[in-house]
Amino acid sequence: MGVTYVSQWNIPEGKNIQQGVEELQNKAEKLGAKKCGLFVVECESFHSTNAQNLKTLHTIHNSEYPASRFACFEDGSFLVTDVMLGTFLSKLRSVWQPKKGGKIESKGQRYEFGDFIIKIGIVSMGPSTKGIALELEYAPCRFPLDCWELMTEMLHELIDDQAPASLPQVIAQKPDANLAELTALQYIRLFNNLRKASMNR
């Protein structure tokens, strides 16, 4: 895995989510990207049962890492585990309870374009769709600062004015972090933003 950028893609006015996904897929294909399977990133959030010290725990499953699970605590602590994390947490129900509406996922088409991997996913909570996620990975690089300019050029080709003007805060704060951790943290931020947006509607 290389350096990744994960973001919500804002749907053009007058289009629904499916039409927005098709537009983004068409852009990727016009650039020359080739379909290469499907992907899924799932997140489940838990809250501590201690009323005096409420904390949140997010778990991530990424199809790029089928044998691993990632756990992120709200204080920034990050843990890489195996697939037994869910079973372990189910035995700790007296400490960690699943949040209501805590399951959310991004699922969709995976593309390859030279050294880039592009993932375009529909974000959903249960039967309800919440938005479109875009993940761009530059596979040969392990250090975000070394390839950010190149990634920005590619993002401008894909999403025009929605491309970030600077290195995202989550990456800038941890430029030497494990790449899987940076990807998981970006998805957690995306999912939390979409949850908040749906609650404010």
On whether the CB atoms of residues 188 and 123 are closer than 8 A, the answer is: no
Residues 154 and 148: their CA atoms lie apart, in Å, by: 10
Q: Domain range for residue 70?
A: 3-199
- 107 alpha-carbon distance from chain centroid: 10
Residues 183 and 187: their CA atoms lie apart, in Å, by: 6
Q: Which CATH number fits the domain that encloses residue 155? A: 2.40.320.10
pLDDT tens, residue order, the chain (201 aa): 899 999 999 988 899 999 999 999 999 999 999 999 999 999 999 988 887 778 899 999 999 999 999 999 888 888 899 988 888 888 888 888 888 878 999 999 999 999 999 999 999 998 999 999 999 999 999 999 899 999 999 999 999 989 998 888 888 888 777 888 899 999 999 999 998 877 666
- CB contact burial 136-151 (16+ within 10 A = b; e otherwise): bbbeebeebeebbeeb
Residues 111 and 33: their CA atoms lie apart, in Å, by: 6
| pLDDT value for 132 | 96
Cα-based torsion angle of the residue sequence 195, 24, 148, 57 in order, rounded to the nearest 10 degrees: 20
Helices H / strands E in the chain, number of each: 5, 8
DSSP letter assigned to residue 18: H
Structurally, the chain folds into a number of domains equal to: 1
What is the pTM (predicted TM-score) of this model? 0.92
